[in-house]
Amino acid sequence: MGNPMGNRIISLHIDTQRTWRGGEQQLLYLVRALKEMGSVPVVVCQPGSELSRALHTEGITFHEVNMRGELDIISAFHISRIIGEISADIVHAHTSHAHSMAVIAALFCKRRVKVVVSRRVDFRLKRNLMNKLKYKLPDKYISVSNAIKGVMVDCGVPDGSIETVHSGVDPDKFPAASKAPLLKEFNLTGSERIVGNIAHFADHKGQKYLIEAFAGLMKEVDNVKLFIVGHGELESALKKQAAGLGIGKSVIFPGFRTDIADFYKLFDVFVISSHLEGLCTAILDAMIMRTPVVATDAGGIPEIVKDGDTGRLVERKRPEKLKEAIKDVFAAPETAEKYAQNAYRFVCDNFDYRITAKKTFNVYTKLRSNE
């Protein structure tokens, strides 16, 4: 892929997560594409993190810095030295704590460096002195959906300082997926109807509404199972909820998995039940796999799931609505297939990670040209 602007920009990317979630995948896509474009991305990440392992595999230059919190002055000073050593044009923060680290590190630098912050969640900003200062200092915000941008503007961040660049996915990410290993692992016959969810077990992901919806679905649809893939702080509570509803044997928790593509193949319908959501790249992955999608109208999800076109969209926190949409998908397989094919084309045309990288690179070049 050629560099669209013919410029060589050196960018330093900061990520403070030790585990692997959607934001880390987005960062990996971005630096991979920037490198292909002839730009020079360098990453600062936590020692021994999942991201550091992925960067090593990709051959991306990275520095491990033990970042202990958003006000870790010593680490911020260390990052400022890296900025100087590589002569970075842009410092791009990819997590909430990285936001503060980037701002502080830039203040330590001897020369002016532009700071970009990615915002991936649609949580409202806390109104405190720290945030008032924190959100005034970056040069540009990149929101991964228009919904997030709207929340930020409503919380006082100037509209002109925010650029929407949707998250991207790799259309060729899952070349050899097969559900056969999972059928064997979970003792399935292949005749079951499988409802699937892949997400972190956190309140805003709304799995409790999905479990409630599934309990109702079991009364109306035979031979159905629910797989909730992932891990998180609510795991025990969700398992207890399923057991309390008497559906524990039909709700499977496989844990954190790396064979995600096989699960998309296994699912007859992929369901996201969030009540807060930035964009949700898991939906984009499901669309790549041509798995029919049912989702809630939270955050940026309506920007990818068009009800009756690329999937089914229902009101958040409404288990009954969720149940009915899933039942509709099961009842009309030809319509579900149409949703899946439309969604696949939509993602390939609009959400390829290389498109995201070009748009992000354009943000960088505009900032540098304004120096």
Tell me the pLDDT tens digit for each residue of 310-352. 999 999 999 999 999 999 999 999 999 999 999 999 999 999 9
For residue 173, being part of any structural domain is answered with no
Q: Once rounded to an integer, what is the mean pLDDT over residues 193-221?
A: 97
Same domain, 327 and 254: yes
The H or E element that residue 226 is part of is strand 224-229
3, part of any domain: no
**Tokens encoding 306:** 């068009």
| Domains contained in the chain, number | 2
Tokens of 187: 């003792």
Residue 336 to residue 311: CA distance in whole angstroms = 8
To the nearest 10°, report the CA torsion of 19, 21, 24, 29: 140
Binned at pLDDT 50, 70 and 90, residue 134 comes out as confident
- Could you tell me the sign of the dihedral formed by the alpha carbons of 180, 184, 186, 191, in that order? positive
Residue 2, pLDDT score: 44
Which of 165, 126, 144, 152 lies closest to 277, judged by CA? 144
The larger pLDDT score, comparing residue 69 to residue 12, is at 12
pLDDT in tens, 80-108: 999 999 999 999 999 999 999 999 999 99
Q: Do residues 195 and 153 share a domain?
A: no
**128 vs 221: which has the higher pLDDT:** 221
Could you give the CA distance from residue 234 to residue 241 in angstroms, rounded to a whole number? 10
Task: Specify if 4 maps to a domain.
Answer: no
Say whether both 188 and 69 belong to one domain. Answer: no
Residue reference for tokens 């044997």: 249
Q: Would you say how long the chain is, in residues? A: 371
Q: In what order do the strands lie in the sheet with 114-119?
A: 62-64, 40-45, 10-14, 90-93, 114-119, 140-143, 162-164
158 pLDDT exceeds 50? yes
Distance of alpha carbon 80 from alpha carbon 350, whole angstroms: 36
Whether 371 has a pLDDT exceeding 90, the answer reads no
Residue 50 lies in a domain: yes
Q: Taking a C-beta distance cutoff of 8 angstroms, is the pair 165, 188 a contact?
A: no
Contact 294, 312 (CB under 8 A): yes
**194 and 309, same domain (yes or no):** yes
Is residue 195 in some structural domain?
Answer: yes
CATH classification of the domain holding 345: 3.40.50.2000
Confidence of residue 3 (pLDDT cuts 50, 70, 90): very low
| Average pLDDT estimate for 167-173 | 94
Alpha carbons 30 and 364: distance in angstroms, whole number: 13
Instruction: Tell me the chain's radius of gyration from C-alpha atoms.
Output: 21
Domain assignment present for 360: yes
Q: Supply 143's token pair.
A: 């929101």
Tokens of 56: 């090593």
Question: Quick one: tokens of 141?
Answer: 């915000």
My answer on whether 152 and 194 are in the same domain is no
pLDDT at 176: 85
Residues 220 and 327: beta-carbon distance below 8 Å: yes
pLDDT value, residue 136: 86
Check pLDDT > 50 for residue 43: yes
What is the rounded average pLDDT for all residues in the chain?
94
pLDDT at position 148: 96
Average the pLDDT over 208-228 and give the result.
98
- Segments forming the whole domain that contains residue 153: 10-168+352-369
Q: Under 8 Å CB-to-CB from 294, ≥6 apart: which residues?
A: 269, 270, 271, 272, 311, 312, 314, 322, 325, 326, 329
- Shared-domain flag, residues 106 and 192: no
What b-and-e string marks burial along 275-312, b requiring 16 or more CB atoms within 10 Å of the CB? bbbbbbbbbbbbbbbebbbbbbbbbbbbbbbeeeebbb
Provide the sign of the torsion angle of the four alpha carbons 326, 330, 335, 341, taken in this order: positive
- 8 Å CB contact between 172 and 261: no
Tokens linked to 369: 């040209």
Tell whether the model's pLDDT for residue 68 goes beyond 60: yes
My answer on whether 133 and 252 are in the same domain is no
CA distance 315 to 56: 42
> Is 117 in the same domain as 206?
no
**Please, are residues 368 and 139 in contact by the beta-carbon 8 Å criterion?**
no
Residue 263 falls within a domain, yes or no?
yes
Collapse the DSSP code of 43 into the 3-class scheme (helix H, G, I; strand E, B; otherwise coil) and give the result. strand
Average pLDDT over residues 292-311: 97
- The pTM assigned to this predicted structure is 0.88
pLDDT at 53 over 90: yes
16 and 164 housed in the same domain: yes
- Whether 243 and 314 map to the same domain: the answer is yes
Mark whether 33 and 129 lie in a shared domain. Answer: yes
Residue 222 and residue 265 share a domain: yes
